[in-house]
């Protein structure tokens, strides 16, 4: 394959040096020394925290745990779907998720020390409601 996407894929492969296992439900989600002592500049979670959290309290704990991985002023990009109780992982495969609404997400971010920088909510047509419904970006405050 050639073209701009092939170039981007090649650049990404040259820059990603490691993939680290993470358990967001542990107080120390990554192995000690996996990140610089000052923390990460940015973390990205796409449809992850809500799919590994059975309820809002677990979601909040997971957010709090990953906040320890960010440096002061670091950014978290969180992408997920509002109001859904499962994702379609394939034909007949439903992945359960904790259904969240916009207020719960904002409250969870605030309760775990994040400052909301941008919140974007997208309403998809009914026939497309299997993908991203909201996107929000926040900055670690503490």
Half-sphere exposure of 101 (CA within 13 A, CB side): 1
Q: Is the pLDDT of residue 104 over 80?
A: yes
Q: Is the pLDDT of residue 142 over 50?
A: no
Q: In the numeric block, which tokens belong to residue 29?
A: 């989600």
pLDDT digit string (tens) for 50-103? Answer: 999 999 999 999 999 999 999 999 999 998 888 888 877 777 788 888 989 889
Architecture of domain 38-140: 3-Layer(aba) Sandwich (3.40)
Q: What number is the average pLDDT over the span 118-122? A: 84
pLDDT above 90 covers a percentage of the chain that reads: 45
Q: How much is the pLDDT for 128?
A: 65
CB-based burial label for 68 (10 Å; 0-12, 13-18, 19+): middle
Residue carrying structure tokens 């405050």: 141
Q: Tell me how crowded residue 70 is: count the other CB atoms within 10 A of its CB.
A: 23
Annotated domain spans of the chain: 38-140
Q: How much is the pLDDT for 106?
A: 92
């Amino acid at each position: 394959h050639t073209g701009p996407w092939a170039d981007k894929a090649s650049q990404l492969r040259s820059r990603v040096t490691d993939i680290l296992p993470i358990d967001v439900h542990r107080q120390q989600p990554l192995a000690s020394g996996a990140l610089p002592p000052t923390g990460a500049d940015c973390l990205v979670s796409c449809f992850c925290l809500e799919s590994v959290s059975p309820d809002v309290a677990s979601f909040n704990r997971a957010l709090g745990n990953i906040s320890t991985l960010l440096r002061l002023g670091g950014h978290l990009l969180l992408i997920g779907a509002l109001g859904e109780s499962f994702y379609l992982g394939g034909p007949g495969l439903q992945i359960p998720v904790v259904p969240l609404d916009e207020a719960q997400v904002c409250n969870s971010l605030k309760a775990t020390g994040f400052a909301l920088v941008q919140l974007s909510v997208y309403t998809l047509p009914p026939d497309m409601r299997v993908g991203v419904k909201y996107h929000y970006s926040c900055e670690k405050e503490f």
